[in-house]
Structure 1
């Protein structure tokens, strides 16, 4: 019984996973069916969830209970299989998928983006939410992109790679004529806000 209770002390992991997915307590409550006050108590270590509650939290985080409890981890290697990628919300001709696992303490995230001709990853009304000090590396696989960063425009072609300060206002645009595909790695900032 002590082993199960120790295993269910998952508060810091739940919080790290929730924050990595950019979810508020209220968001996770809606996704999991576990109340926000209960989630807050779990995250702070004030209570250990039952197995049923832990399973609901795992589902809200798009994980199995085994993944949440780290029962299926085989050491320091974590593999995200092709069918296990997390899709970001597709909108305005921009679709993306996160290729890295939602692990606590992970300092970088790899994502694959597809932009339709004329589409953009965001703009003035949709700034990136990267923490201060973040860096981004983007590699254009196919097509052409314009990186618009802090008022400057940079044309990128297939095979080009760019590195920049991701905490500056920026977005990618596809000038066309066809779709553009690129990989992006965002690393966490050295400075904390």
Structure 2
């Protein structure tokens, strides 16, 4: 009997899975199903009995010959005790992914007074971005304008923060939060005498590339902005 891991390697039944097509839905679901089954040391027959999905169907899914319906995926997910999303991911495939702080890359400004650490898997395109920001006392960080429809949600974990959007300013104390449209000129200033720690969630706009704000539109990018920082280890 072939192992599930062998099925992962062989989940390319014909030329339909040659170079350039490994990101197809069939391949992604098949590889994840085979891996999850192998981790649980379940045979196809055992998984078929647990899920109520036929062995033949499971074999077709694992070999990337068939894309299962949502109903079938729900049955298999329940039997494997994972989310349906686990079959569609290239990360957090067991429903979670540990991101150790000591291995997380940080974006640090040239003067070292501002840093941003991504709190989501590196290199993964995301509709939402989650960052931890650290801002030195009396430092002002000019924000990078994003496409229209992009929103930013900030919450202050430690210290104080002054957020400027156009000519309006809002002072935030520890625990305070603010939401604003990120296509506007904005900046973050730490008015206190201790480092400010802030968590930022950016909800990216679902707009075509033509909405990107051009650099010539008057957006100032200082040496301390997100686009001017260099990656450094945590």
When the two structures are superposed, what TM-score results if normalisation uses the length of structure 2?
0.49
Report deviation, 1:3: 5.1
For residues 43-192 of structure 1, the aligned pairs below 5 Å read 70=90, 74-92=93-111, 93-102=113-122, 104-122=124-142, 127-192=143-208
Q: Tell me if the contact between 1:99 and 1:111 (Cα under 8 Å) persists in the aligned partners.
A: yes
Structure having the higher Rg: 2
2:20 to 4, 9, 19: 9
Distance change (3 Å), C-alpha of 1:171 and 1:75: same
Q: Cα deviation per residue 1:72-122 (whole Å; 9 max; x = unaligned)?
A: 763554442323322113334111211111354410111111111111222
How many residues get paired? 133
Kept in 2: contact 1:98–1:110 (CA 8 A): yes
Quote the Cα distance in structure 1 between the aligned partners of 2:18 and 2:173: 49
Give secondary structure in 1 for the equivalent of 2:179.
strand
Structure 1 unaligned regions, length at least 5: 13-69
Give the TM-score normalised by the residue count of structure 1. Answer: 0.58
Note if contact 2:151-2:179 (Cα within 8 Å) is conserved in structure 1: yes
Q: Distance in 1 between matches of 2:140 and 2:105?
A: 20
| Contact 2:162-2:169 within 8 A present in 1 as well | yes
Distance 1:114 1:131 in 2: 24
Tell me, what secondary structure is at the counterpart of 2:102? helix
The aligned residue for residue 73 of structure 2 is none
1:86–1:98 contact (8 Å) kept in structure 2: yes
Three-state SS of the structure 2 residue aligned to 1:83 is helix
Which stretches of structure 1, 4 residues or longer, exceed 6 Å deviation after superposition?
A: none
